[in-house]
């Protein structure tokens, strides 16, 4: 019988085990082959000996991520306690792997899942893998900002009523821009209909620790939530948490995780999750109070510049914008005659400021635990100077970020169908078999199984011209696109 551990948030069991292991000076006749850095001096010089010395393989004193029974298990228990979950899984494949695990844990081939179309590509990737059928709730759009909002309660209720055989409802909580749906109401609707509720909470780590934050997925009663600790939680890139509620069988989820996650879990990533969880549990409330305060100050200063619109809680309408993430610094740029991606490029190339992303009409400066007020002052000053130097007529700029898709078949059917490559400019009316998206944020403009329309082609062309980083298709230049093949009678092969 496994020994029970007292849940003390001051502990960091993986970090402590690695510290102990470092002191043992064990001779390595195992992988990795750099042998604590001795075999790769350039890498050791670049990353540092202290880092390389704990880039180790699974062994008895350090547990095993595929089947944790000691220090990793204890770290997961502490994470679950800190986040108010029944269980937590340490994930080293990014929140992509967490999201895919959520979908694969509750859906099988032919099952329906209700979700907004403005999901991250990882959700649709999961549908390609398992063969589930998406039932899209197309989000309401703020036409001035050109952004999609949350899922309206009425829309979710309608989708549940029309598809009572769906197995789950998936919610973005929050969106990249900080928009939150009425998560508690959606959870209740899903549970009342016998469905699971899953939350893509990639941008909501701080909801669990900050004050006056939107409700977290676990507090709202969601069954599973994917949390990007590396985004606002301070852990290393690619590290994430998967949280589950009491209605989900832990052992089943572990089996799903082990279908795709590496058997060589990185102890650098796992220890960063362990240390970051401890930091948030002990200091998160104070830290995120400061982050929210900095974001509020920055919004006020940017709006005082004129031309820009740093939007916030004034968007709340009780439904499609049920709440707003106070740490998000989302700024509408179109009114100064510049696309968001153009401001993004100017900030980086001329002011040495790297923000999270710029799209057709907005930018996002991601604020979190490592930001300082003086750097925000620099951002505000740069935006003011960009307006002074580059402001122009805004007529002719595209103002729509989201185009409702026309879904013809399931992502899995389209992805694995026989395809041909055609010039993208002549693909209107065809059915797409691959993804096209701007990254970040990684929300598909086109996904497998959707009809290509002239509006979508215009959007893709415009985004490319403005300098958006386009990803997805086999053709890296996105001059060609893969579509489903038809026979001589126009029937899909």
Whether 98 has a pLDDT exceeding 90, the answer reads yes
Question: Which stretch of DSSP H or E encloses residue 149?
Answer: none
Query: With bands split at pLDDT 50, 70 and 90, how would you rate the model's confidence at 25?
Result: confident
Give dist(CA 238, CA 377) in Å, integer.
Answer: 29
Summarised one tens digit per residue, pLDDT across range 366-415 is: 999 999 999 999 999 999 999 999 999 988 787 766 677 889 999 999 99
CATH of domain 285-390: 3.90.1150.10
Q: Which CATH number among 3.30.950.10, 3.90.105.10, 3.40.50.1820, 2.20.25.650 corresponds to the domain 411-484?
A: 3.90.105.10
Q: DSSP characters for 87-99?
A: EEEEESSHHHHHH
Q: Other C-beta atoms within 10 Å of 349: how many? A: 9
Q: What pLDDT, on a 0 to 100 scale, did the predictor assign at position 400?
A: 67
Q: Which one, of 115, 120, 153, lies nearest residue 133 by Cα? A: 115
326 phi, psi to nearest 5 deg: -70, -15
Question: Which stretch of DSSP H or E encloses residue 366?
Answer: strand 362-366
Q: Burial of 361 by CB count in 10 Å (0-12 exposed, 13-18 middle, 19+ buried)? A: buried
Q: Which one, of 366, 355, 283, 327, lies nearest residue 180 by Cα? A: 327
Give dist(CA 483, CA 476) in Å, integer.
Answer: 16
Q: Does this chain's domain 285-390 share its CATH topology with 411-484?
A: no
Domain ranges in the chain are 63-281, 285-390, 411-484
Residue 440 CB partners (closer than 8 Å, separation 6+): 176, 356, 357
Cα→Cα distances 444→159, 289, 387, Å: 22, 33, 30
Query: With bands split at pLDDT 50, 70 and 90, how would you rate the model's confidence at 1?
Result: very low
Q: Per CATH, is 63-281 categorized as 1.10.3720.10? A: no
Give dist(CA 327, CA 107) in Å, integer.
Answer: 33
E strand residue ranges, 112-178: 112-116, 133-137, 141-142, 147-148, 168-172
391 phi, psi to nearest 5 deg: -60, 140
Q: What pLDDT, on a 0 to 100 scale, did the predictor assign at position 421?
A: 96
Query: With bands split at pLDDT 50, 70 and 90, how would you rate the model's confidence at 316?
Result: very high
DSSP state of 436: E
Summarised one tens digit per residue, pLDDT across range 196-237 is: 999 999 999 999 999 999 999 999 999 999 999 999 999 999
Nearest 5°: CA angle at 441, between 306 and 202?
105
- The average confidence (pLDDT) of the chain is 93
- Please state, for a pLDDT cut of 90, what percent of the chain lies above it: 84
Query: With bands split at pLDDT 50, 70 and 90, how would you rate the model's confidence at 117?
Result: confident
Among 77-91, 111-125, 215-229, 474-488, whose mean pLDDT is lowest? 474-488
Q: Other C-beta atoms within 10 Å of 80: how many? A: 21
Nearest 5°: CA angle at 343, between 337 and 344?
150
Query: With bands split at pLDDT 50, 70 and 90, how would you rate the model's confidence at 491?
Result: low
> Would you give the distance in Å from CA 80 to the centre of its chain?
20
Query: With bands split at pLDDT 50, 70 and 90, how would you rate the model's confidence at 5?
Result: low
Q: What pLDDT, on a 0 to 100 scale, did the predictor assign at position 3?
A: 46
Instruction: Copy the structure tokens of residue 152.
Output: 């309206």
Q: Other C-beta atoms within 10 Å of 46: how many? A: 10
Summarised one tens digit per residue, pLDDT across range 297-311 is: 999 999 999 999 999
Whether 155 has a pLDDT exceeding 80, the answer reads yes
Give dist(CA 331, CA 250) in Å, integer.
Answer: 40
Question: Which stretch of DSSP H or E encloses residue 157?
Answer: helix 153-162
């Amino acid at each position: 019988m496994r020994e029970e551990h007292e849940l003390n948030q001051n502990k960091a069991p993986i970090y402590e085990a690695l510290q102990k292991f470092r002191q043992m000076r064990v001779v390595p006749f195992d992988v990795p082959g750099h042998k604590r850095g001795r075999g790769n001096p350039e890498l050791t010089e670049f990353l540092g000996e202290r880092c390389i010395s704990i880039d180790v393989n699974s062994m008895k004193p350090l547990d095993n991520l595929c089947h944790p029974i000691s220090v990793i298990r204890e770290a997961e228990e502490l994470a679950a306690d800190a986040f108010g979950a029944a269980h937590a899984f340490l994930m080293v494949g990014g929140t992509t792997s967490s999201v895919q695990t959520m979908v694969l844990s509750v859906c099988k081939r032919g099952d329906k899942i209700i979700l907004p179309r403005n999901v991250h590509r990882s959700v649709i990737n999961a549908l390609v893998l398992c063969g589930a059928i998406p039932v899209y709730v197309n989000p309401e759009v703020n036409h001035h900002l050109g952004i999609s909002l949350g899922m309206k309660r009425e829309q979710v209720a309608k989708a549940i009523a029309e598809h009572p055989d769906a197995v789950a409802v998936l919610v973005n909580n929050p969106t990249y821009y900080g928009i939150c749906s009425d998560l508690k109401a959606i959870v209740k609707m899903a549970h009342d209909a016998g469905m699971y509720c899953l939350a893509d909470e990639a941008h909501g780590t701080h909801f669990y620790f900050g004050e006056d934050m939107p409700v977290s997925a676990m507090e709202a009663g969601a069954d599973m939530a994917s949390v990007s600790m590396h985004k606002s939680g301070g852990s290393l890139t690619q590290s994430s948490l998967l949280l589950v509620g009491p209605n989900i069988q832990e052992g089943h989820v572990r089996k799903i995780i082990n279908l795709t996650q590496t058997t060589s879990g990185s102890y650098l990533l796992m220890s960063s999750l362990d240390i970051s969880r401890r930091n948030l549990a002990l200091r998160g409330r104070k830290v995120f109070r400061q982050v929210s305060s900095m974001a509020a100050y920055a919004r006020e200063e940017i709006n005082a510049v004129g031309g820009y619109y740093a939007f916030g809680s004034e968007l709340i309408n009780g439904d499609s914008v049920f709440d707003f993430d106070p740490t998000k610094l989302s700024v509408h740029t179109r009114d100064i005659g510049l696309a968001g991606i153009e401001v993004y490029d100017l900030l980086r190339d001329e002011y040495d400021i790297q923000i999270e992303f710029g799209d057709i009409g907005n930018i996002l400066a991601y604020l979190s635990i490592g930001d300082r007020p003086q750097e925000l002052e620099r951002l505000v000053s740069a935006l003011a100077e960009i307006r002074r130097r580059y402001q122009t007529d805004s007529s002719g700029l595209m103002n729509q970020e989201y185009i409702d898709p026309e879904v013809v078949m399931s992502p899995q059917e389209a992805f694995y169908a026989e395809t041909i490559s055609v010039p993208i400019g002549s693909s209107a009316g065809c059915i797409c078999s691959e993804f096209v998206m701007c990254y970040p944020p990684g929300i598909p403009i086109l996904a497998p199984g959707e009809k290509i329309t002239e509006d979508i082609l215009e959007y893709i062309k415009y985004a490319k011209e403005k300098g958006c980083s386009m990803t997805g298709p086999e053709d890296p230049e996105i001059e060609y696109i893969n579509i489903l093949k038809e026979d001589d009678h126009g029937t899909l092969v």
